[in-house]
Each structure stands twice: as structure tokens, then as C-alpha cells.
Structure 1
Amino acid sequence: MTEELHYTEYDTRLAAYAVIVRDGQVLLALWNEAADRKRWTLPGGGVDLYETPEEGAVREVREETGYDVELTGLLGLETDVIPPEGRQRPTDRTFKAVRVFYGARIVGGELTAEVGGSTDEARWFPLTEVADLPRVSMVDTGLRLLAAGRADAS
């Protein structure tokens, strides 16, 4: 049985991500905050206090990839609970991640690397190669949601 905590007793982070697929390739960003190893992730991240999840997704894609995007629809949500010992920084508080996934298409900009952020490279990968990449689990979640046909990200 899991321990029941009141919502004031744990930390929550709302994040928004874009699943961008075109010509059989998916756009991923190289996440550099894991001390043990870098892993590929979907472009996106934490939603600022006064922005909507949609605004956060668009801003994060621009920061991490250089692309301007238009969201094509909500794909779904995912939550994950991380105990204190599993968090990146020492704490005694449990963490609840709430992730919002959107389909998106590129409407401008050009591929560039983020400087001084949580990612340091963005790249297109053939969908057939994703299974062999060192990646965070949300890449699989986003692609699974997209395949379910909830939004067109092409």
C-alpha cells in the first residue's frame, strides 16, 4: 500500500511537451541534467506560473530547438511519483510530475542548440531508431499517444 500524502506535503511540477514528427522523423532534445548520463527527451519542460501549458510547450520548444511551433492538439497526460531518494537534488519531499503532451508542427525558426539550459542539442531521428537511443520514458509515452491518433503532429 502506498503512503497517502496531502497535496501540501509533496512537490508538484507541471510540464508540457511537444511531439513533433515529420517525414518519418521525430524531433528530440538531449537532456543534460542527469548526473549519470545524458538522455534524449521530447522538447518541452516546466510551465511557468503565469503561462498556460500550451504557452509553456511553445516556449520550451523554441528555447530547446530554435523552432516555432503550432500545437495541433492535446495528446494526453502522464503523472509520475518520485520518492525523495530518487530525486535529482537532496530533499525529504516526494515529487509528483504532471506531464502534458501535445502534437505540434513547425511553422518557423531553424534548428539550433539551447545554450545554458537543461538541453544542449536538438536533432531529428528516424522513428525506426528511437528504440536504440538512450532516452527518458516520456519519449515512448509521447510517441504512443501520437500513434493512438489523438492529434496530427505531421
Structure 2
Amino acid sequence: MVRYPRVAVGGIILKDNKILLTLRRDEPDRYKWAIPGGKLELNETLEDGLKREINEELSLDVEVRDLAGISEIITEYFHYIILDYICIPVNGDIKPGSDALKAAYFDMQDLGDSVNKSTREFISKMINSVKPIHIIEKRC
């Protein structure tokens, strides 16, 4: 069992005031919609890791722009530090793969319970902020 924080990245892809989310195949939050992304690999930069994860999950190539915010999700069993960046699609058509079961755009003002809690909180704060946000979700 990993006993230290893991660094992950997420891609905020927007279109007509909607955000692209993926339906997670794996835990945590299996079968919940979330911001696409994943854990960094050893010797990988944040930007390179995000581009790899978006390509694996959505078959999209993206341009990584500004940092939207940081989320810390802490439970008894894991601790993720997630850096979410605004991304612009530059090549490819959305096609779920890897650990994404589906992909869909969601209205940012009307996210339902099928979207995981940390994603709902992050998007809500992001909409109302002009600078990067920081959320902490502690479940232990």
C-alpha cells in the first residue's frame, strides 16, 4: 500500500459553458463522472503527464494552458494532490479509452449526483474565481 501522497493531473476542457467529463472505470469513485486525468509517472513533467493521460482517456491531443486549481483528496487509504489545467483540444475526436468508460459534456451550472463530489466542488469554485483555486476534501 502506498503511504505517501500521489501527484495527479486533470484537464479542464470547455465548450459552450460545458465541461468534458469522463465516467471512471476504476476506484476511487468508480462509475462517477470526473475531470479526465490521472497520476504522473516517474520523470514525467506535469504537462507531459497531462497530455499522455488525456490522450489515453479521450484519444485527444491537447494544448495545456493555465492552472485552474489544486485539489487535495485525503482518505484513510490514499492521498492525491491533483493539479487541474485548462486544456484546448488540438487534434483527435473524443473516443473513451483506458480507464474512461464514457465521455460527455456537462453543463457547469447543473452537475448532478452522478458527478463525483470533488469534481462538483472544484467546478463550482472555479466558476466563481478569477484565480487558481484550492480545495481540500478530507474523508478520514
Q: What's the % identity of the aligned pairs?
A: 25
Secondary structure of the 2:110 match is helix
Match of 1:121 among 80, 96, 102: 102
Secondary structure of the 2:96 match is coil
Is the helix fraction higher in 1 or 2? Answer: 1
**Structure 1 residue runs of 4 or more that deviate by more than 6 Å after TM superposition:** none
Q: Distance in 2 between matches of 1:142 and 1:59?
A: 22
Q: Distance in 2 between matches of 1:146 and 1:47?
A: 26
Secondary structure of the 1:54 match is helix
Match of 2:46 among 39, 53, 57: 53
Q: Distance in 2 between matches of 1:78 and 1:39?
A: 17
Distance verdict in 2 for CA 1:58–1:19, change over 3 Å: same
- Counterpart of 1:126, as a letter, is D
RMSD of aligned C-alpha atoms? 2.2
Match of 2:84 in 1: 101
Q: Are the equivalent residues in 1 in contact too, given 2:68–2:86 (CA < 8 A)?
A: yes
Please, which runs of 5 or more residues in structure 1 have no aligned partner? 1-8, 85-94
Deviation at 1:150, TM superposition (A): 3.2
Match of 2:10 in 1: 17
Q: Distance in 2 between matches of 1:59 and 1:22?
A: 21
Pair 1:137 & 2:117 matched:
yes
Distance verdict in 2 for CA 1:37–1:17, change over 3 Å: closer
Aligned residues: 130
Secondary structure of the 2:49 match is helix
Normalising by structure 1, we get a TM-score of 0.74
Normalising by structure 2, we get a TM-score of 0.80
Match of 2:136 in 1: none
Deviation at 1:35, TM superposition (A): 8.5
